[in-house]
Structure 1
Amino acid sequence: MDKPSIAIEVVYALAERQKLLRLSVPVGTTVREAALRSGMQQFFPELDLNQAPLGIFGKAVSKPEERVLEEGERVEIYRPLIADPKEVRKQRAAKAKSKADDGEAS
């Protein structure tokens, strides 16, 4: 007898394109297993699904190898960060302060 299954989605996006796949997976499938089963690498060959950070509905999953999926959940495959967000904010604040200081000097 077949193992019961659930319907889920797996998504990945780059700035210029994205892909959403709907899958039926066996009950008990983990977040990582779903990402690996999705076949997303055929659309994005550079993607390393064994290491990629994963989440569900915008919330990162710290242990995707352990978190079991439920019916209707959406697994999100996250891209690696290009820059540290804290550092980018610091640079933006410094630039804004510099512009403000230049405006006062005029």
Structure 2
Amino acid sequence: MANPDSNTVINVMVCLATVTPPRLVNVQVPAQATVADAVHASGVLNGLDLTIDTCRLGVYGKRKTPDAALHARDRVEILGPLIADPKTARRRRVQKVRATGTREGLKWLRNEAPPKDDVLE
């Protein structure tokens, strides 16, 4: 494969997935561009209170750092910060099912006492 010239550009799609519907922007960046370069070139974060440091970045669903290299026709995805801790959210869902007294909730209570650090809110 030939080395890309310094003036070669590649097409990249940047997707801002924090809003509904997602915003998609096609940009052209130099062949040696990084994920951060594509995000800056797209301008999707302009006017929002998000920065590259507070967002999670990925390429086709795979987590990437801002300095990761891009290839032609990559889709850079910008995901917002987590709103809730996944473990705490899971505990709350289980507690809600247990409290309803449904068959599914009773299955949880059959042979198991709730953990001592269970969320009591």
TM range (shorter): 0.7 to 0.9
Match of 1:27 in 2: 31
Specify the structure having the higher radius of gyration (Cα): 2
SS in 1 for 2:69: coil
Residue deviations 1:23-61, cap 9 Å, x none? 11100101111111111123x522213442200111211
Q: Which structure has greater helix proportion?
A: 1
Question: Could you tell me which amino acid in structure 2 is paired with residue 60 of structure 1?
Answer: R
TM score, norm. by length of structure 2:
0.71
In 1, Cα distance between the equivalents of 2:19 and 2:98? 29
- Which structure 1 residue ranges, 5 or more long, are not aligned? none
- Which structure 2 residue ranges, 5 or more long, are not aligned? 107-121
Structure 1 residues 3 and 51: alpha-carbon distance in aligned structure 2, compared to 1, 3 A threshold: farther
Runs of 4+, deviation exceeding 4 Å: 101-104
In 2, Cα distance between the equivalents of 1:80 and 1:18? 15
- Which of 44, 49, 52 is the matching residue for 1:46? 49
Match of 2:14 in 1: 10
Residues 36 and 49 in structure 1, CA contact (< 8 A), matched pair in contact too: no
**1:98 shift after superposition:** 1.8
In 2, Cα distance between the equivalents of 1:79 and 1:3? 33
SS in 1 for 2:58: strand
Question: Could you tell me which amino acid in structure 2 is paired with residue 22 of structure 1?
Answer: N
Aligned-pair identity in percent equals 33
In 2, Cα distance between the equivalents of 1:70 and 1:97? 49
Match of 1:64 in 2: 66
In 2, Cα distance between the equivalents of 1:52 and 1:36? 13
Aligned residues: 101
